[in-house]
Structure 1
Amino acid sequence: MDRLTEMEAFATVVDQGGFTDAARKMGISKSAVSKHVSALEARLGARLLNRTTRRVSPTEIGLAYYDRARRVLTDAGEADSLVTSMQAAPSGLLRISVATDFGVNHLSPILGDFLQEYPDITVNMVLNNRFVELISEGFDMAVRIGELEDSTLRARKIAETTRRMIGSPAYFEKFGQPRKIDDLNAHKLLHYTSQANGAVWKLTAPSGEKRQVRTTGWLSVNDGQSLLNAAISGLGIAYLPSFLYADAAAKGLVVEAIPDLPVEPQGIYAVYPPGRFTQPKVRAFIDFLAHAFADKGPDRW
């Protein structure tokens, strides 16, 4: 007889408290359940169940065997579900959390292509500038930039960006071009209030020395696009990701404030909850993003 079937029959008898209810649960006859359990006991050379006219209960050996058998059956069921799930067509509601600047500028323009490719998926994209709790807040995945704080999540890098200080040519013509980090103290700095490390720019000097520059005072905004617009208008120097300023730089609307500073790429990741397999809708979207951004970054945006 099939070993898994024997184990399932035994475990179901324990779960249901008897052969009659186990047979009903499995959809087979009571005699078939009894034969499976008897075959298992004969193969193991041990009595697994105490049988009386009123009830059935596991022996001490049977209880120990039940714990292991139930784990094996659970793993087998998950393996079957994995194959079925991976072959299923992606469908259902996909909830995504994305940083506002990246979502508006780079995800929104390509969502239509994804939805046309996968018409059975509906997308709810939430734009915000905080790290959401994926599981407790009901998100299937998130797109995050920079160092990943939650190591329990699964992650796949889909692109790279970098952060640079930029300003308009008109601003630098009027106030001069800074040549080193200390020169920034004499300039008008535009602060991004949603920045995780507060009103501080963390910079690396050409020597490799790590420096910090305070940015409070001139203009504070909680939106990257607004900061870029302010920089283009000549209001000061902004410290922004390349995926946001690259187009303006290509048009000559902004230039780097201190080009000699080292370029430090930051990863852009698709992150999703841990588990033994990835939902088809999540896997499909991550594959789509990886293909869409294959030729992007750190400065090519």
Structure 2
Amino acid sequence: MNFLTLMETFAVVVETGSFTAAAEQLGLSKAFVSKQVSALEKELGTRLLYRTTRKLSLSEEGTRLYNHCQLIMREAQNARAEIIESQSTPRGRINITIPQSLIISGVGSLLLDFQAQYPDIKLNVIASGRVEDLVEKGIDIALRVGQLEDSTLISRKLADCTFQVVAAHSYLERNGEPTEPADLTHHNCLIYGESRSNRNWPFQLPDGEFITIKVKGNLTCNDGTLIYNAVLNGQGIGYGPGFLYAKPVADGKLKSLLTEFSQPTTAISALYPQNRNLSRRVRILLDYLAERLNS
């Protein structure tokens, strides 16, 4: 028998929890389903399922095989959906995780514009900057800003991004303005994120040397909205991607500081599992964001 057919039958047995239920779902006899699983075990030379009168349980090898079956079946479903979608209006669900800093900076509005343009696409937006297990949580893409950790995920750069140091005029009137990076050690710096690296703000000196300044402050939070509002309220100095503070700086509500000390250029990137073929609707979203973020 075809090995992929045997794998499909095995996966259905695991998911339904019995040979009887699997047979009903597949439109086959219970005896034939059992024969297919036995043939698969013979092909692989190992026991995959332990059978009792009450339930089925997976062996260690069965668990590993089932994980592969899930990936293969998901790819088959994606291929089918992609071909069908290519013949019609893009539709379906996209699960996307995105940091709050991107949402409040304007990418959130881009997602709303995208949905208005493609009303048959359902967006499930998870506001989080945490590194999630995309496969386990069923997430199609994750948007991230800055240096990416080594992982098995595929990364697609959507746009360049530079960071900047900003503060409200009310804060500067009370505390003075830093004129060089080392001055930040005497200021209340608001820390976005829980990682220690978020307390080390990088700068490039006029002679080309790169340095990092370890800052401190009375507010540390992984909620980008809270840090953003605290900076606007004059509670301290903020450090973040330029797009986050672009509007309040342009409106005169915040001042960009230490502009003669350039910040390393980073990127806004989209991450997705390397074993997942992106559906047409996801590719359309990524192309849309790349175009709009660079316009």
* Pairwise TM-score range, normalised by the shorter structure: 0.5 to 0.7
- Give the Cα–Cα distance (whole angstroms) in 2 for the partners of residues 82 and 233 of structure 1: 48
- TM-score, with length taken from structure 2: 0.66
- Give the Cα–Cα distance (whole angstroms) in 1 for the partners of residues 142 and 282 of structure 2: 10
- What is the match of residue 129 of structure 2? 129
Uncovered stretches (5+) of structure 1, i.e. residues with no partner:
1-10, 17-73, 296-301
- Give the Cα–Cα distance (whole angstroms) in 1 for the partners of residues 85 and 196 of structure 2: 37
- What is the match of residue 146 of structure 1? 146
- What is the match of residue 211 of structure 1? 211
The DSSP-based 3-state class of the residue aligned with 1:247 is: helix
Uncovered stretches (5+) of structure 2, i.e. residues with no partner:
7-71
**Structure 1 segment 1-301 matched on structure 2, within 5 A:** 84=83, 87-89=86-88, 90-195=90-195, 197-275=197-275, 277-295=277-295
The DSSP-based 3-state class of the residue aligned with 2:155 is: strand
What is the CA distance between 1:258 and its match in structure 2?
Answer: 1.0
What is the CA distance between 1:180 and its match in structure 2?
Answer: 1.5
> Aligned residues, how many?
228
The AA in structure 2 aligned to 1:122 is K
User: CA, structure 1 residues 82+121, in 2 after alignment: closer, same or farther (shift >3 Å)?
Assistant: closer
Structure 1 residue runs of 4 or more that deviate by more than 6 Å after TM superposition: none
Q: Give a deviation string over 1:226-248, Cα, whole Å, max 9, x none.
A: 22322232222111211111001
The DSSP-based 3-state class of the residue aligned with 1:130 is: coil
The DSSP-based 3-state class of the residue aligned with 1:136 is: helix
- Give the Cα–Cα distance (whole angstroms) in 2 for the partners of residues 219 and 110 of structure 1: 30
The DSSP-based 3-state class of the residue aligned with 2:285 is: helix
Larger radius of gyration: 1
What is the CA distance between 1:198 and its match in structure 2?
Answer: 4.4
Select between 234-243 and 222-231 the one with higher mean Cα deviation: 222-231
The AA in structure 2 aligned to 1:183 is D
Kindly report the root-mean-square deviation, in angstroms, between the aligned alpha carbons of the 2 structures: 3.2
The DSSP-based 3-state class of the residue aligned with 1:292 is: helix
**For the Cα contact (< 8 Å) 1:160–1:265, is it kept in 2?**
yes
Select between 83-92 and 168-177 the one with higher mean Cα deviation: 83-92
The AA in structure 2 aligned to 1:290 is A
**For the Cα contact (< 8 Å) 2:97–2:126, is it kept in 1?**
yes
What is the CA distance between 1:82 and its match in structure 2?
Answer: 9.3
Select between 100-109 and 264-273 the one with higher mean Cα deviation: 100-109
The DSSP-based 3-state class of the residue aligned with 1:212 is: strand
The DSSP-based 3-state class of the residue aligned with 1:135 is: helix
